[in-house]
Amino acid sequence: GQQVMQIPQYQHVQEGEDFTTYCNSSTTLSNIQWYKQRPGGHPVFLIQLVKSGEVKKQKRLTFQFGEAKKNSSLHITATQTTDVGTYFCAGRRFEGGSNYKLTFGKGTLLTVNP
Amino acid sequence: DVKVTQSSRYLVKRTGEKVFLECVQDMDHENMFWYRQDPGLGLRLIYFSYDVKMKEKGDIPEGYSVSREKKERFSLILESASTNQTSMYLCASIRGGGPPNTGELFFGEGSRLTVL
């Protein structure tokens, strides 16, 4: 079945350093979403990428979708303590009719040392 | 504000008990989901429903059942709880629509279940 691999599993950085998490799918995706889960919280939607090669920015966060629509990345510039949390990618594959399947990566836990 | 509400944040149950986890959304969404979240395993889909009285198995349905009698409510049922079902359970909903669906998931705050 469809798999979405996400690396790294953990990342610890000093405040001000950059951070990147990567997702790779075994199959071509219709779109990919990114979610953030703060410690003790629930996943919250960040962004969705749909087009091949798409790049979107949200302040210090840059999201990319690969040309083949099989991989994606989230890059945070100059991390802050408020960036702490687990970042999940979720790849959606269209399976025909009204069926689609959203598969989550296992997430990357980011900790930031102030 | 849109909202997905899970009835219990924390539950402690004994092995063999029947457990109901309730989820209600106020967004008139067609699709609802139950995930469990475990350290190192991420979010795994248990069941989902794309309409009232409809249900589909996710990736790990064994030991669970669901009920969707009303559009806004999606219940997860553990017929006979076991210790390996100790986990965080997350309900989510998403607007339905023509393929390919591109909506975002709205999650509830989660129900942490401990089975002793």
Asked if residue B98 has pLDDT above 50, the reply is no
- H-run or E-run covering A79: none
φ/ψ of residue B25, rounded to 5: -125, 145
Q: Which among B99, B104, B110 has the least Cβ separation from residue A42?
A: B110
| pLDDT recorded at residue B96 | 66
Map out the domains of chain B with their CATH numbers: 4-96 (2.60.40.10)
Inter-chain residue contact B90 with A42, CB threshold 8 Å: yes
**What is the arithmetic mean of pLDDT over A30-59?**
95
Asked if residue A22 has pLDDT above 80, the reply is yes
If we measure between CA atoms, which residue out of B67, B56, B60 comes closest to residue B85?
B60
Residues 6+ apart with CB under 8 A from A110: A11, A12, A13, A19, A21, A76, A79, A83, A84, A85, A86, A87
Q: Round to whole Å and give the CA distance between A85 and A112.
A: 9
Instruction: Please give the mean pLDDT across all residues of chain A.
Output: 93
* Banded pLDDT at B99 (limits 50, 70, 90): very low
- Which amino acid, residue B7? S
Q: Round to whole Å and give the CA distance between B112 and B116.
A: 13
| pLDDT recorded at residue B97 | 57
- CB proximity A20 to B under 8 Å: no
| pLDDT recorded at residue A91 | 93
> Looking at per-residue confidence, does B15 or B100 come out higher?
B15
Q: Round to whole Å and give the CA distance between A87 and B33.
A: 20
Inter-chain residue contact B109 with A96, CB threshold 8 Å: no
| pLDDT recorded at residue A83 | 98
Distance from CA of B15 to the nearest CA of A (A): 26
- CB proximity A85 to B under 8 Å: no
Map out the domains of chain A with their CATH numbers: 4-113 (2.60.40.10)
**Low-confidence winner among A63-72, B64-73, B97-106 (lowest mean pLDDT):** B97-106
pLDDT in tens, B43-86: 999 999 988 999 999 999 999 999 999 999 999 999 999 999 99
Q: Round to whole Å and give the CA distance between B48 and B104.
A: 15
**What is the arithmetic mean of pLDDT over B20-30?**
94
Residues present in chain B in total: 116
* Banded pLDDT at A1 (limits 50, 70, 90): low
φ/ψ of residue A99, rounded to 5: -95, 135
- CB proximity A92 to B under 8 Å: yes
